[in-house]
A and B are shown apart, each in its own frame.
Chain A
């Protein structure tokens, strides 16, 4: 396949997100400006100007009208996707890391980093239909985990919130009361910081990637470990194909690999694994730096990866991808 290279960001990429229809791709990077691209040919549609710090993550509403972004400048902003106008700004006491709309887009879960005296926290905010009615207040604030919470997402039917972070423990919280419902088993869980988390298309299971060079697949309701995928590099980003039983991991590099005489172009690869057999299917090379973000198009026919090199690479699969057999 011939990937499309998009160099809209001058700094490393942090997050990629497709909208529900799969025609827009939102990219967040450390350069303060989230960008939206057309997902078929990679043409840039626009940028959202307003943040003063690295943008760590974003989410888009189901109708592709609203974008929410979380940034290191201690704000979370709501944007009009079409015009790029800022609709609302939530202020926090510390950098905001992960944002996620609930099913129905009425609520959003936001995590903030530990900063000075503040510990990390998970905030739930109500999102009004009409931005003029938007208020600052939180529906719920959950504190508890030590260290940064790298990702928090809504569970099935918005009943639960799943969080994962630096303490390598995945937690499931009740979204109404904030009570801790479940914690991942320490023995079988990750051993180092969990960097990324992605849900399956139906929400029944989710995948976490960690710096301990592995990714694990968990059941959302019971938080039991289903599968483990092992690589040679710390995992920075994970994605699941909505179409086939494939899992993609993107990662960083060992410190020992900093200098190398290999002059082949871009050898950081996104590794594909069979979801069920846990075996490596192959790798897609091309990035010049560690891969920090991965996202699958909801139709499963293309995926994009964002790297430390500031490039977003958009890959449309060849027909023989769909015929791969182990």
Chain B
């Protein structure tokens, strides 16, 4: 078979330089030193069992815990005897341990805000709608990532306050939906019938708290569907870790279904936590 020599040949190192008399020679070993990530590549060439040239690339990550460039005095200090409580130190004392978790210097999520800073500022002057913090809900003056309560589960009273807030400021989110405000409930909504329908649905909203970290929307849907038709499920997620923040909402079509779900599932053990199930906005029944 003819090898078409006019083809622009992709250089395969195995086909290069087929000098028969120098076949027993191998290209030299290359070491591509540790780069800024500490990755070191060693490329070796060998003959495998069938007598073919084989290229072996070993990629290692070189990592140093600490630079041991100690001064002479410091080296002397290294050899000092232990004193005080450290005299009776047994090897298994485990006073000093390396953390099992990798801890990073977590950058605040500001970069996008910086780039479009002015645009956002103008928008916020126009409509406070867009600036509702998902965590504490009521404040309209900061983004979710800057919320002072961002490390906690959202303050519980914010749920109670929301219906009051919803009446007072149309910009506030609808009952129990987080930051998303359906178009019908926004500041300039007119249609009453549409909003009635949705509001009734939102009034059949059930809040579930004390969820485990792994709980997702699908889990809640599966759990609650046996009580009736479920229109919407929502589980509050922590953006950084991807885990549930411990609470969520389920919207039923029928109020009776919601009531039954509350009665049955409040106190129900789910994924080794006891669920708390109640109306999303407290009812004075």
Check: B86 CB closer than 8 A to any chain A CB. Answer: yes
Contact in complex: B74, A260 (CB < 8 Å) = no
Check: B49 CB closer than 8 A to any chain A CB. Answer: no
Contact in complex: A260, B84 (CB < 8 Å) = no
Q: How close is B34's CB to chain A, nearest CB, in angstroms?
A: 10
Cα distance A35–B74 in the bound complex, in angstroms: 17
Q: Pick the interface stretch among A45-53, A147-155, A173-181.
A: A45-53
In the complex, which residues of chain A have a beta carbon less than 8 angstroms from the beta carbon of B86?
44-47
Check: B173 CB closer than 8 A to any chain A CB. Answer: no
In the complex, which residues of chain B have a beta carbon less than 8 angstroms from the beta carbon of A84?
83-84
Q: How close is B154's CB to chain A, nearest CB, in angstroms?
A: 10
Interface of B is mostly: loop
Check: B174 CB closer than 8 A to any chain A CB. Answer: no
Cα distance A227–B203 in the bound complex, in angstroms: 51
Q: Given A47-B86, A49-B84 in contact, is the A41-B95 Cβ separation under 8 Å?
A: no
Q: Pick the interface stretch among B101-109, B189-197, B220-228.
A: B101-109
Contact in complex: A301, B67 (CB < 8 Å) = yes
B38, B65, B101: the one within 8 Å of A265 (CB) = B101
Q: How close is B202's CB to chain A, nearest CB, in angstroms?
A: 25
In the complex, which residues of chain A have a beta carbon less than 8 angstroms from the beta carbon of B68?
40
Q: Which of B140-176 contact A (CB under 8 A)?
A: 148, 151-153
In the complex, which residues of chain A have a beta carbon less than 8 angstroms from the beta carbon of B85?
33, 35, 46-47, 49
Measured CB to CB, the nearest residue on chain B to A257 is B152
Interface of A is mostly: loop
Most interface-central of B84, B87, B213 (chain A CB within 10 A): B84
Contact in complex: B105, A2 (CB < 8 Å) = no
Contact in complex: B108, A46 (CB < 8 Å) = no
Measured CB to CB, the nearest residue on chain B to A299 is B67
Check: B71 CB closer than 8 A to any chain A CB. Answer: yes
Contact in complex: A260, B65 (CB < 8 Å) = no
Check: A280 CB closer than 8 A to any chain B CB. Answer: yes
Contact bitstring B72-92, A, C-beta under 8 A = 1, else 0: 011001101011111101000
Contact in complex: B96, A44 (CB < 8 Å) = yes
Q: Given A260-B151, A281-B107 in contact, is the A41-B66 Cβ separation under 8 Å?
A: yes
Cα distance A7–B73 in the bound complex, in angstroms: 27
Contact in complex: B96, A42 (CB < 8 Å) = yes
Measured CB to CB, the nearest residue on chain A to B74 is A23
Check: A24 CB closer than 8 A to any chain B CB. Answer: yes
Contact in complex: A261, B103 (CB < 8 Å) = no
Q: Given A21-B74, A260-B152, A261-B152 in contact, is the A5-B84 Cβ separation under 8 Å?
A: no
Contact in complex: A6, B148 (CB < 8 Å) = no
In the complex, which residues of chain B have a beta carbon less than 8 angstroms from the beta carbon of A269?
106
Q: How close is B256's CB to chain A, nearest CB, in angstroms?
A: 31
Contact in complex: A282, B99 (CB < 8 Å) = no
Check: A185 CB closer than 8 A to any chain B CB. Answer: no
Contact in complex: A272, B105 (CB < 8 Å) = yes
